[in-house]
Amino acid sequence: MATPSPGYSMILRVQAPSGLTVTSELAAAAARVGAGVTALDIVESHHDHVVVDVSCNVSDAGHRDEVRDALESVQGVQVRKVSDRTFLIHLGGKIEVSPRVSLRNRDDLSRAYTPGVARVCMAIHENPADARRLTIKRNTVAVVTDGTAVLGLGDIGPEAAMPVMEGKAALFKQFAGVDAWPVALDTKDTEEIISIVKAIAPAYGGINLEDISAPRCFEIEARLREELDIPVFHDDQHGTAIVALAALFNALRVVDKKIEDVKIVVSGVGAAGHAIIQLLLDQGVRNIVACSRKGAIHRGEAYDDPHRQWIAENTNGGGFSGSLKAAMVGADVFIGVSAPNLLDETDVAAMNEDAIVFAMSNPDPEIDPALAVAHATVVATGRSDFPNQINNVLAFPGLFRGLLDAGASDITTEMLVAAAWAIADSVAEGELNASYIVPSVFDPHVAPAVAAAVQRVAEGADGSAAADRPASPETREPSPVAV
């Protein structure tokens, strides 16, 4: 999986003898050691030498050093400096606050601030609902984390989580025009987190919980949903579930199978796995085997974790108790939200014909997609350097846009399913194929489509996005964190 990536993009500033072939020699030297050269720019020119910025993608820090050595092996070349473009983009942070109104003179100031602002304050005091109309609340989301489950890095703390939270806020703005702000909390105490979020909630129209470890994330979300009058959404759970469901809708169209007929193996029963299973059951999937590190979750075992106990009671009707690899035999769909390199080519070969594999562990998936495609018809990952990227950015910007525009106070399963269908339907019939089951994250039509679908459901309009979809079964016990 160690391939050059824009996530490891470098600029090597080199001094080289002047000459007509200097840039081609530098490009060839970098390419010989596997660098993906993206640009060569002459930044200084002198009679006897030039200074060239060599921009390239590498796979890791060791590969970067190989490229530097390769350039310096060219006669007369000296590497002056190596800059990491990923770190450069983070210098000073990635977001800022900018005013929406001009403050050009005393008149402007007297309206935006004192004394005129006092009248607006009193209007809100007399009618608190006006806060949505007269403040940033109607368009602002708090991105809340405690830094305990950041990407695949684990518990790295609130400061180290900030670059991810800033990135999340930037995506909210870029794709849906939502103003979001990171709130990184220096506490892991569940009650304290709930208390802090409740205390800051008056300034926000919604709460996006991010990178909070399980099982605390379940209680934090459930309690905040009960105790706040604005929507609360744990993206690691429900954002992943929305996009996975959207991808599954289209993958099943590609292989011509029905959702109620397939056997689905889910690897990972944490936050994302639990939410995916909830949506799969809601959509009528009848045969799900969920696996943890110890193997299949089943009714024959008691679990201290109520969320795993719920999975045991609502899935795996056949009582399968074997390993993940054994569960793959005869499966139609694999959905992985767990750990890298759990499966090999033989495991995919043991699945049914026209198998679907969603290996979404990041940055390294449960199986190398290059191996999975040898036996599966549809393969998707969470990575941007392979086709069919299952990325939460397809869901959360549009979801919150719709919630904010509707003035919603809660999030329902119907909204999540509507969002999934909006994403799936963004891939036109003529575009759909095994390597294109979800739209690009840069497709400008996706977020508005998701927002419109969610808003229709939130406002209770007729003809919601899920109106002509399969009805939800009503016979199951509710999940302890059912939405």
* C-alpha dihedral sign at 181, 185, 191, 196: negative
Q: Phi and psi (nearest 5°) for 7?
A: -65, -20
Q: What 3-state DSSP class applies to 221?
A: helix
Residue 173 annotated in active site: no
In 166-279, at which residue ranges do the beta strands (DSSP E only) sit? 179-184, 206-209, 232-234, 263-267
CA distances from 328 to 373, 379, 414 (A): 15, 15, 30
Rounded distance between C-alpha atoms, residue 441 and residue 461, angstroms: 28
The answer to whether 29 touches 70, Cβ cutoff 8 Å, is: yes
Show the tokens assigned to 290.
Answer: 């969920």
Query: Distance from CA of residue 212 to its chain's centroid?
Result: 14
Q: What is the DSSP letter of 268?
A: -
118's torsion region: left (phi>0), alpha (psi -120 to 50) or beta?
Answer: alpha
82's torsion region: left (phi>0), alpha (psi -120 to 50) or beta?
Answer: beta
Residue 168 annotated in active site: yes
Query: Around Cβ 149, how many Cβ atoms within 10 Å?
Result: 22
Catalytic residue among 113, 173, 204, 325: 113
Catalytic residue among 8, 168, 204, 263: 168
Say how many CA atoms lie within 13 Å of 259 toward its Cβ.
20
Q: Which residues are catalytic?
A: 113, 168
